[in-house]
Structure formats: C-alpha cells, structure tokens
Structure 1
Amino acid sequence: MKPFDYQRIGAVEEIDADAGERSSFLAGGTNLVDLMKHEIETPERLLDISRLELAQIEDGDQGGLRVGTLVTNTGLASDARVRERWPLLSSALLAGATAQLRNRATTGGNLLQRTRCYYFYDTARPCNKREPGEGCGALAGHNRIHAILGASEQCIATHPSDMAVAMVALDARVRLRAADGSQRELPVEELHRLPGDHPERDTVLQPGELILGVDLPAPPPGRHIYRKVRDRSSYAFALVSVGAILHVADGKVGSVRIAFGGVAHKPWRARKAEQALQGQAATEENFLKAADVELADARGYGGNDFKIPLARRTLVAVLRDAARATEESTP
C-alpha cells in the first residue's frame, strides 16, 4: 500500500476545495481498503468521514424516508420502517455480502462500490477502467460475470451493488455536497454512468463531491420482490438480479417498476419492459413479451451468453410471483 495522509473530518464544513481527485473519503472502508492494498486506488489523502452526523434514518416529506450516508447496511435493512414499507430495499440489502460486512458497509459507500471484474483487480492484466488505454482483457477473456447491456468496446464490467438496484426501482434520490459547499440532488438512476469511451468514470460525481444521503419517496403500491441469482447462496455477487414492484388491479398491470442488477455497468432500469406491461393483462405471455422487449439489445461475449436467457427467466419468474401474491392479497 502506498503512503497517504490521513485526516479525520469532524464536520462537512471541514471538507475544503483541496478534496479533489487525489483524495478519497473513508467511511466503512469495505471496498476502498481492499483497492488500496492492491494499489488500484492510490489516494494521496484519506478523509475519514466516519464520525460525521450522517448516520440517521429520519421520516421524510410526504411519507418518504431520509437515509444518512453513514447508515450501515445492517441498520438500514433492519429498520422497522424499511422492512414494513420498503421491503424491496431490505431484501436487497440482506442479499448482499455477509453480516460482518453489512455491519461496516455504509449507504454511501455501497453506492460507490467499484466493479468486481477479475481484470480490474489484477494489475498484471489490461483494464481500461484501471488504466485508460490499456485495453479490456475481459472482452476476449474470462467474462462469465460481465455485462450484457450498455457495455462498450472499452469495458464490459458490471456494477456489484444489490442496494442500488432496489433504490433505482424505488426512484430514490441522492443528496450531494461539492467541495465548495454547494449542494445538489439527482436520482440514484443517474448517479452511475455507462462506460462509453471513459470506463474509468463510474459515476457523475465531481472530484471532492460527497454523498450526504439518500431520500426514498413514499413506497409505491404493489408487491415488492428482489431476486438474486448467484453461484452460491451467500457472499457472492449477482449473475442476474431483479428488483420489481408490481401492482395488479382487475387482472391488469396498474403500475410496475423493474430494475436489473448484474447485467450492466450500472443498475439497469427496465423502462422498456415497464412500458410494455403498463395496462396489459398480468399474464405470463405478456411478461415474456416485456422481457424480450427489454433484452432485445442484450449481447453476450462468449462466457456470459447464458445471462441473456437467465435474465429473461428471472424477470418472468419475479413478475409471475408478484402477480400471484397481489391476487391472493386482494379481498
């Protein structure tokens, strides 16, 4: 690990304009410390924000919820309000990592995880995300876990967060503070980038910009389901995951929200599938049609070709179960 300066931050106002590209924020450290050990991340200064007053979960406006950036994954998943009203989020959090990691990992840090691509972590292999211009070793290499949507010839890595998939489906918004003190908000869906020609840029954050927290709007009606398909039942990243909220009335889709994980450089909001289902009969035939519409542009790279039919089957199964549960709960 390369030497670095360490600074403990007592208040957000202490974050100055020097918190730029050569500085990193440290909270739980469950991803950052590993990257520093491998010398993939080599910040000149670590800004320890773990003692900031940003670890609260508070009731928000109009039935929403405000989640501080330092709320742990365990704290968020076990909050009674989240379990009762946003079960999609609680399920996604509990599907991620181990209990020990969830006890340390934070809301903001979870959103900012780097990819788990083999080539990104192996500094002896080419990786455009780690070193732009080197090439993407995964394109013709071992790419079983890689993207089938939104990839480019520069990078086919995937975003690993389960929590982010649920937050995208829930239309959550992230609150940001720039190093100059100005603040802005944007949908979690817009936080992450597709790789394009600059795969080294995972997010739209500016240098020194800090996630202050996430705001959840009032939960939408319907059945909330998060399903994660992975190689083993624990401590494994998703090959494909689906977060869905389906509301069925009189046998037809009244409202639906869908997000995929494990298939793209960012949590993938399945808006084409949502549009195809809106107002249609909640039948397996229509679920299959919607999946085909969403995955029409999906592309495999050899080792991950199986992900396309897997994503289709997983989405259809989730929608089927959600529709059945909605019908059973209707008086």
Structure 2
Amino acid sequence: MNPVSYQRASSIDQAIQMAAGGRGRLLGGGTNLVDLMRKGVERPSSLVDVTTLSDAIEETSEGGLLIGAAARNSAVAAHLQIRSRYPMLARSILAGASAQIRNMATVGGNLMQRTRCLYFQDVAGARCNRRAPGSGCDAAGGFNRYHAIIGASPACIATHPSDMCVALAALDARIQVAGTRGARTIPIVDFHRLPGERPDLETEIEPGELIVAVEIPPPRFARSTYRKVRDRASYAFALVSVAAGLTVRAGRIEEIGIAFGGVAPKPWRAFKAETALRGGPATSQAFEAALADELADATPLPGNAFKIELAQRTLSAVLTELSGSDR
C-alpha cells in the first residue's frame, strides 16, 4: 500500500508551494490520475487538489478566449461562444469519454493526461519505456492496432489519447503556466513532446510548474469541425481523428488548420498538408495529395498500417464537407 497525503490549494502560489520539492501530483478531476494510481502506474506521495483555481471562460482583449485550467470539460463544450465560434473544440470534447467523466474532467487535467497504451498500464506484465525508462517497449512487437504511425521512436509507439488537445492544436492554442521561476506561455504544438529516447518526458512542464489557463486566438476559419473514427460509437479512443478549419473563397483555400489524433504520440498538427493546400483549389484530389505528403515519413506496424488510408479518407471527407465541395 502506498500512503498518500491530500491537500487543497486555494491559490496558484499555494499550489506551486505544495507541489514543489517532492513526489506530489496536481489533482484536477482525477479521471486519469486516480485511475493510474489504482493500477500502480502512478505512485505519488501527495495529491494537491487544484480544482479551486480559475474555471472562468472569458473573452480576451484580442477577441479570443481564455479558459481557466479548472474549467470542466462539459462546461467548455456547452459554452455558447465556444459552440458558435470554435465548433471543432466543442465537438472534440463531446466525442471524448462519457458525460459523467466530462462533468469531472478539467481542461488542465485533459492536457496532462497520459497514454492509454495497454502495455503502459500493465505494470506487472509488460515492459514500457514510458513507465520505466530503459525497460523496453512490448507494444512494438505486440498488439499495436491503436498505436502511432508517425512521430514515434524505437523507444515508444504510444499515441496521445486526448480529443480536446487535437482541436486546440488546430486552433493554435497557447498554454499559460506558472511556477517557481515565474509565468510563461507555451504553444500547444510544442507543449507535448515526441518520445525520442525519453518517452517518460511527455510535456514541456517543468518541476514546480502548473497549467493556469488555455488561450485560444480569435477565430480564423469560416467553418470548422471534428471527426473521430473509432471501433465503437461511444467511450472509445480514436483510431484516427481530425480537427479541421477552413476558409474558402472563389474555390480556393484562403485559410486552413488541420490536426490529427490517434496517429502520433502527440496531437499531430499537419503543417505540411496545410502549406500544400493553402492558396490552392478545394478539391478532393488536392486534399488526398496533401495528406500523402504529410504522411510520407509514416512508419506503420503490421497492426496499424490501415491508419494511413483511414487518415486520408477521413481528412478528405472532412475538408470536402467544410468546403462544400463534392468533386
């Protein structure tokens, strides 16, 4: 049995002080952390409850939105400005987990959630470099249907599980953090790390730091959406998901943002595909060619090679829907 102490922070400074210098973990809704504690993956000596921090959703002076880290996922998805101005974000949250979990989960906790790789969670029976650095990766030669086809490394092929983070990546969100060395802002596309040789280092958060808020820039797409392909209709993680925003004028793409879930160890922003498409025609042929270039470096395994074609078909369908094109 692992004894765990519990404290509740009433301010950002207090949360930083409580968590600093030990094996303490910050506790939001607990929908991921507590589950991993039950399985023995996480063994913190103390929990610092940060749900009393800001849960406000406010408009910024630039016309974007600032979402407090303690905001519940269900509240974000139901917020009128998010539903009307950032529909891909609302839809991504509603595609994740169950209503009960969304009522508990927080924005900050969603950003920090860990992979659902079965080998990562199998403490007694599997080797996992993300859980125990240097031990090996049993997923590479095992059941890897749900694993990464791009951005992985020999040390780890796990995918990032969040739906919300995929939409935030397409929206160019920025993560505001505070810590013992002051405050800083991290673009979400840089927030999560690729595994490389250290898959246990999952984010750019440093010891003594915590997420304070998420800032979303003013809307830049005429239309946006989120589509998730999974093995069953609810409460399942993505095989492939797409968050996309599009503005088309006179048949040509003026603005575009694309991010994938289910294919990489982090929310995968498709910068190559965006560059190839921006300024060009909004046609299915263009969509398919752009993604082929994006996935040119994909390294699928026998169990997940189907994800390449699935990603191509899903993106093409989403962009065709957003552009109003049936060509």
TM-score by length of 1: 0.96
SS in 2 for 1:61: coil
Whether the 8 Å contact between 1:13 and 1:181 is mirrored in structure 2 is: no
| CA distance in structure 2 between the partners assigned to 1:242 and 1:21 by the alignment | 38
Residue 299 of structure 1 aligns with an amino acid whose one-letter code is T
Q: Which residue of structure 2 aligns with residue 37 of structure 1?
A: 38
Give the C-alpha shift of residue 48 in structure 1: 1.1
Aligned length in residues = 324
1:207: how far off?
1.2
CA contact (8 A) 2:25 2:46 kept: yes
Cα deviation, 1:186-211, whole Å, max 9, x if unaligned, reads 11111100000000011011012100
1:213 is matched with which residue? 213
SS at match of 1:84: helix
Deviations 1:43-96 (A, max 9, x none): 1111111222x1111111221111000000000000001001110100101000
Q: Which residue of 1 aligns with 2:157?
A: 156
Contact 1:2/1:39 (<8 A) preserved: no
Q: TM-score, normalised by structure 2?
A: 0.97
CA apart distance, 1:221:
2.5
Distance in 2 separating the partners of 1:215 and 1:56 = 12
C-alpha distance in 1, partners of 2:196/2:272? 21
Give the whole-Å Cα distance in 1 for the aligned partners of 2:208 and 2:42.
15
- The AA in structure 1 aligned to 2:140 is L
Tell me the C-alpha RMSD between the 2 structures. Answer: 1.3
Partner of 2:89: 89
Match of 1:11 in 2: 11
Report runs of 4+ in structure 1 exceeding 4 Å deviation: none
Q: Percent identity?
A: 52
Partner secondary structure for residue 141 of structure 2: coil
Q: Quote the residue 1:46 is aligned against.
A: 47
Does 2:178 match 1:177? Answer: yes
Alpha-carbon contact 2:63-2:218 (below 8 Å) kept: yes
In 2, Cα distance between the equivalents of 1:12 and 1:277? Answer: 42
1:292-331 equivalent positions in 2, closer than 5 A: 292-324=292-324
Partner of 1:111: 111
C-alpha distance in structure 2 between counterparts of 1:9 and 1:18, whole Å: 10
Say which SS state the counterpart of residue 320 (structure 1) adopts: helix
Superposition deviation, residue 20 in structure 1 = 4.0
* Contact 1:71–1:107, Cα closer than 8 Å, also in 2: yes
Show the counterpart of 2:233: 233
Deviation per CA, 1:211-262: give whole Å up to 9, x if none: 0010111011221011100001110000000000011100111111100001
Stretches of structure 2 that go unaligned for 5 or more consecutive residues are none
In structure 2, distance between residues paired with 1:221 and 1:69:
25
